[in-house]
Structure 1
Amino acid sequence: MATVLLVRHGRSTANTSGVLAGRLAGVQLDETGLGQARRAAARLQGLRLAEVVSSPLTRCRETARALAAVLDPAPAVRTDRSLTECDYGEWEGRRLKELTREKLWRTVQAQPSAATFPGGESMTAMQSRAVAAVRRHDARIEAEHGAGAVWAAVSHGDVIKAVLADALGMHLDLFQRLHVDPASVSIVRYGAPHPFVLGVNTHEGPLAWLAAPQRRRPQRGATVGGGSGPGAL
């Protein structure tokens, strides 16, 4: 099984201004966000990343470049529109304080599967295209680099939460129970009979343990009793 690191971009200028950036152009990492991206990158030392696949938005591409810059050999960095931010339509660029007064805000919090942003995308459509993209790249990278390959997908908070909800077998209506901070790393292995979620919203600690060799004969399901740690899946 390949392993995907789901990395949220570092803190952006929109995060600090209280604006829902969506797909607005020109939203970059602020100084804190750049530092967060570098600290996330430092956690990867000792890992050989097969590839970094990023949302095409600037704040994600900046984070992706920070990840690749510390590794030798540096992995290829590519973009995929399917990992981009949710299309918030008419909500894009508006202040979050104003949006909390909208009726749709309550739907987004309580029943996101029923939420479609005016002039934009539904949250179910966002989840569908993001999950499909992550699974597609994961299968491709495993085929090209082998079952022990590790790669990174750099994306946005709601997108990563939606991918994690799918991996955990959670209904999208429960995805607001997950938290994904700027520059956090969540970890998933897609295998039989279901994905294995190895970490959610992690901030500290080296990730070189992910390079531990995996079983030659894949285990069918989780280890009864909890297993013996990294490399035992």
Structure 2
Amino acid sequence: MTILLLVRHGRTAANAAGILAGRTPGVRLDATGWEQARAAGRRLAGVTLAAQVSSPLERCLETARALREGRGDASDPEVIVDEALSEVDYGAWSGRSLADLAGEELWRTVQAHPSAARFPGGESMVAMAQRAVSAIRARQDRIADENGAEAVWVAVSHGDIIKAVLADALGLHLDQFQRLVVHPASVSAVRYTPARPYVLTLNSSSGPIRDLLPAEARPGEDAAVGGGAGSAT
């Protein structure tokens, strides 16, 4: 029931400087970030997309634009902005350096027990995960209904948002999501079926994405015992 390609935005100056940008306006891709995002678009060549969805923040909208440039496919659908895929509201933590934040008591909670973390003046990690996962699950159902069970779509979002969606797909408690790594402009892929989600790749930064997709046009819901035959290519 659809394959979701989760793309983290490309690098920003805040990323390079170790600043937690959060929802601070005006945080855009740097030159490296633009090239990362265009390269991710080239990796998506040959994959027909049913939808492209993005966080409303500038760095994600720019990444979505760069993906389209890299793909060079005039038939690509217009980008849909989804507020539910926006960055975590880090509240008073926004704009501060990660080095400084690492000295806060809350930092240890965020690392070891994120389900208990609420950012001062912002939202909790639980609320973030709930809104992001609910939005992804609802949209993948709509895309499957409108485009068929083999539809592929892209969501451009932020590191913690993508990690929360992947943790849900992997059946992990939110307290385990810090075990996942999602680099700028990386691609992670999840196939959703009525039985369960299947994580096809995580934090992928090289190689054609079509090579990671299932070989069969409409694979079954059961896991392939022994590992299966892999992709068609």
After TM superposition, the score normalised by the length of structure 2 is: 0.94
Q: Is the 8 A contact 2:51 2:153 kept in 1?
A: yes
How many residue pairs were aligned?
229
Q: Equivalent residue of 1:119, what SS?
A: coil
Equivalence for 1:214: 217
**Given the alignment, which residue of 113, 117, 123 partners 2:125?**
123
Q: Which amino acid aligns with 1:214?
A: A
Alignment of 1:191-230 (within 5 A): 191-209=193-211, 210=213, 213-215=216-218, 219-230=220-231
Structure-to-structure mapping, 1:60-209, within 5 angstroms: 60-69=60-69, 70-209=72-211
SS of equivalent to 1:161: helix
RMSD: 1.3
Is the Cα–Cα contact under 8 Å of residues 6 and 152 in structure 1 kept in the other structure?
yes
Contact 2:6 2:157 in 1 (8 A): yes
SS at match of 2:201: strand
Q: 1:96 to 1:29 in 2, by over 3 A?
A: same
Pairwise mapping of residues 17-32 of structure 1 onto structure 2 (< 5 A)? 17-32=17-32
Long gaps (5+) in structure 2: none
Q: How does 1:7-26 map to 2 (within 5 A)?
A: 7-26=7-26
What is the TM-score with the length of structure 1 in the denominator?
Answer: 0.94
TM-fit CA distance, 1:151:
0.5
State the Cα distance separating 1:213 from its structure 2 match.
4.5
Letter in 1 for 2:221: R
Whether the 8 Å contact between 2:8 and 2:183 is mirrored in structure 1 is yes
Q: Which residue is 1:2 aligned to?
A: 2
Q: CA deviation at 1:208?
A: 2.3
Task: State the partner residue of 1:59.
Answer: 59
